[in-house]
Chains A and B, each alone.
Chain A
Amino acid sequence: MNAATETPFREQPLLEVRDFQVELITDAGIIRAVDSVSFSIHRGETVTIIGESGSGKSTTAMGILRLLPEDLAVLSGTVLIDGVDISADPKAIDKVRGKTLALIPQDPMTALSPVHSIGSQLFEAIRIAGAASAKDKDALQARAVRLLEQVHIPTPEKQLKKYPHQLSGGMLQRVLIAIALASEPQLLVADEPTSALDVTVQGGILDLLLELQEQRGIGILMITHDLGVARLISDRIHVMKDGSFVESGEVQQIVDHPATEYTRTLLAAVPVLGPWDETPADARGAHAASGGSSATTTDPALTQTGAKP
């Protein structure tokens, strides 16, 4: 975060997206889910795309990672990941997946194969990263334990033998972050990494992401509908609505001086009580529509979470 201001922008960005567009082929016809968005992320920076359900924010992230079904999604525009143009050559994504690029998924409970142990899935990521060979069991084990320690999982040796259903959502998300870190990625794409978790563990996961970013200077693309999350973690925010950015800027500027009505509505939707927003999106929409009295940018809930200026 501070690194962002220290790092000169002349440096090649980790992620550069220009005129990115996603068209989804549906029964009802072709839908332009993402309409010419452009942004970039530098080393040590967190850029957040915030918007309601259906605004196209997750589709943007999945499109950049080329994880949308190939026969249903048509991508156009330019995406450069650490200088590798993955939009021109679809195979180029294989060069960055599991190497410079990693995904932290939305729902940790369904993001690991239920019939394979935590250890086997972590070992696999370590092998793909080339950090240890499959034959060197001791090196794999040592590396896996160190990764789990880095995400603050207690008794890592024991957890490696466990299966996903034996861990809580918060622990699983830590495991998934450890798996993502196996390759020492430069860029993390976090697709609503806390929205499926209990309020009490959400803060811990975000703290962990901030800590890792500080240690390693990785860039983070954060997708969220939660302004509390965005405010805590972001350097810059892009507000997304109906597939395009309606507003972009520094986090403080967006929060203090929202330029569009949509952003004001999003801000107004933050509840007064509790530091983290766990209300479903539609309930918040109704709350905002009813003229919720919490429409204030000096919401104590936001500042209490240790949000950065």
Chain B
Amino acid sequence: MTNYILKRLGQGLLTVFLTVSTVFILIRMAPGDPAVSYAGPLASNEQLAAVREQFGLDRPVLEQYWIFLQQLFTGNLGQSYSFQAPAMQVVFERMPYTLTLATSAILLTAVVAIPLGVWMSRRPDTGKEFGVNVLTIAGQSMPDFWTGIMLLTGFAVLIPLFPASGFATWGGLVLPTVTIAILQIALISRMVRREMTNNLAAPYLTVARSRGVKNSVLTWRYAMGNSAIPVFTALGTRFAAMLNGVVVVEVVFAWPGVGSLIVRALETRDYPLIQATVLVTALLAVAVQLLIDLAYPLLDPRVRLGKAATA
């Protein structure tokens, strides 16, 4: 088990390293000049050269990469150009907002999608199930910026129930959470239905039914117990993806998270800030993935106990 954890940890760190290295190279290949963004369009060539020298951008790319690697091991990725503060610190200040949004979105998804999927699996081919099915396809098809703007118009402008932007009060959490959750609920509930439909038709379920096990127990203990692993994995993976910043939704709702931060960092070609954001979110995503892997043995005895010799 310890070996397994160390192996997964090693793989995860390698993934993070390759990710930040790729991003380091890609942002330098992309068009745009940080010095122009920093010094403004009216700056003279001398001013631009001074800025480049200040940020170390006049050095060869390989040398810049070497400096970056040294920074990587000290955990200090340099000053953000636009915030004039350590890039890592800027990211860490934004991280709680994204964590809050991602957590509330994934909780709402789980609370709605699991019962909804179970409900659909138990009433196949009925009118109501068809209706819900159509709704989930619609939910899957609506782009989140559109959903976000519709919710903003509806519940912040026309009926001003919630604030339109920012996170000044807990009410501000509602619309961005719902916007993210609509898509996730549509995807996860259809997955729950598929898994449940398979498990409700499994031989062990028929045998359990034959010994008088009640329908509710068959559904929740047996079929859900066996559907839990893939559903949990999907929820975990989606949560990890949200930690990378729910970019579009954060921008639509002016949410002060990492998603809107990376948009700003990219716009201003703020290399240290881009690198710091990518580093932190990649680390978090790898950590969540590792936690999912570690939770498998708890959910599935076949993983926990391995293939034992036959008795």
Q: Which residues of A contact B (CB under 8 A)?
A: 62, 65, 67, 71, 94, 97-99, 101-103, 105-107, 110-117, 121, 124-125, 128, 159, 162-163, 165-168, 171, 176, 179-180, 182-183
Chain A residues in 8 Å Cβ range of B81: none
B301 touches A110 (CB 8 A): no
Q: How far is the CA of A72 from the CA of B292 in the complex (A)?
A: 39
A65 CB contact (under 8 Å) in B204, B210, B299? B210
A97 touches B210 (CB 8 A): yes
Q: How far is the CA of A166 from the CA of B299 in the complex (A)?
A: 16
Count the A-B residue pairs with Cβ separation under 8 angstroms: how many? 91
Chain A residues in 8 Å Cβ range of B226: 113-115
B228 nearest CB neighbor, chain A only: A115
Chain B residues in 8 Å Cβ range of A159: 311
Chain A residues in 8 Å Cβ range of B305: 163, 165-166
Q: How far is the CA of A71 from the CA of B213 in the complex (A)?
A: 20
B3 interface residue (CB < 8 Å to A): no
B306 to chain A, nearest CB (A): 9
B267 interface residue (CB < 8 Å to A): no
B16 to chain A, nearest CB (A): 33
A183 touches B211 (CB 8 A): yes
Chain A residues in 8 Å Cβ range of B208: 113, 121
B206 interface residue (CB < 8 Å to A): yes
A113 CB contact (under 8 Å) in B125, B204, B209, B211? B204
Q: How far is the CA of A105 from the CA of B225 in the complex (A)?
A: 21
- 21 cross-chain CB contacts under 8 A: A62-B206, A71-B125, A98-B210, A102-B210, A105-B206, A105-B210, A107-B203, A110-B204, A111-B207, A112-B204, A113-B204, A113-B225, A113-B226, A114-B204, A115-B300, A116-B225, A117-B301, A125-B211, A128-B211, A165-B307, A171-B311
Q: How far is the CA of A67 from the CA of B213 in the complex (A)?
A: 13
A103 touches B299 (CB 8 A): no
B302 interface residue (CB < 8 Å to A): yes
B127 to chain A, nearest CB (A): 14
A67 touches B210 (CB 8 A): yes
B207 touches A103 (CB 8 A): yes
B211 touches A180 (CB 8 A): yes
Q: How far is the CA of A24 from the CA of B193 in the complex (A)?
A: 25
Q: Which residues of B contact A (CB under 8 A)?
A: 125, 202-213, 217, 221-222, 225-226, 228, 299-302, 305, 307-308, 310-311
Given known A97-B210, A124-B213, A125-B211, contact A111–B203 (CB-CB < 8 A): yes
Chain A residues in 8 Å Cβ range of B225: 113, 115-116
B123 to chain A, nearest CB (A): 11
A114 CB contact (under 8 Å) in B125, B212, B301, B308? B301
B210 nearest CB neighbor, chain A only: A103
Main secondary structure of the interface of B (DSSP, over half): helix
Q: How far is the CA of A107 from the CA of B310 in the complex (A)?
A: 16
- Known A71-B125, A105-B210; further 10 A-B contacts with Cβ < 8 A: A67-B206, A97-B209, A103-B207, A103-B210, A115-B225, A115-B226, A115-B301, A165-B302, A168-B311, A171-B310
Chain B residues in 8 Å Cβ range of A71: 125
Q: Which 9 A-B pairs have CB atoms at the shortest separation, nearest pair first? A: A98-B212, A168-B310, A103-B210, A97-B212, A166-B308, A163-B301, A110-B203, A98-B211, A111-B207
A168 nearest CB neighbor, chain B only: B310
Chain B residues in 8 Å Cβ range of A62: 206
B227 nearest CB neighbor, chain A only: A115
A94 CB contact (under 8 Å) in B203, B212, B299, B308? B212
Q: How far is the CA of A117 from the CA of B304 in the complex (A)?
A: 13
Chain A residues in 8 Å Cβ range of B308: 162, 165-166
A8 to chain B, nearest CB (A): 30
Chain A residues in 8 Å Cβ range of B302: 114-115, 163, 165
Q: How far is the CA of A165 from the CA of B304 in the complex (A)?
A: 11
B207 CB contact (under 8 Å) in A101, A168, A176? A176
Chain B residues in 8 Å Cβ range of A102: 210-211
Chain A residues in 8 Å Cβ range of B213: 98, 124, 128
A68 to chain B, nearest CB (A): 9
Chain B residues in 8 Å Cβ range of A67: 206, 209-210
A63 to chain B, nearest CB (A): 13
A106 nearest CB neighbor, chain B only: B203
Q: How far is the CA of A166 from the CA of B308 in the complex (A)?
A: 5
A113 nearest CB neighbor, chain B only: B204
Q: How far is the CA of A113 from the CA of B221 in the complex (A)?
A: 10
A114 to chain B, nearest CB (A): 6
B309 nearest CB neighbor, chain A only: A166
Q: How far is the CA of A163 from the CA of B202 in the complex (A)?
A: 17
B226 to chain A, nearest CB (A): 6
Chain B residues in 8 Å Cβ range of A99: 212
Chain A residues in 8 Å Cβ range of B203: 105-107, 110-111
Q: How far is the CA of A248 from the CA of B38 in the complex (A)?
A: 95
Q: How far is the CA of A65 from the CA of B221 in the complex (A)?
A: 22
A148 to chain B, nearest CB (A): 12
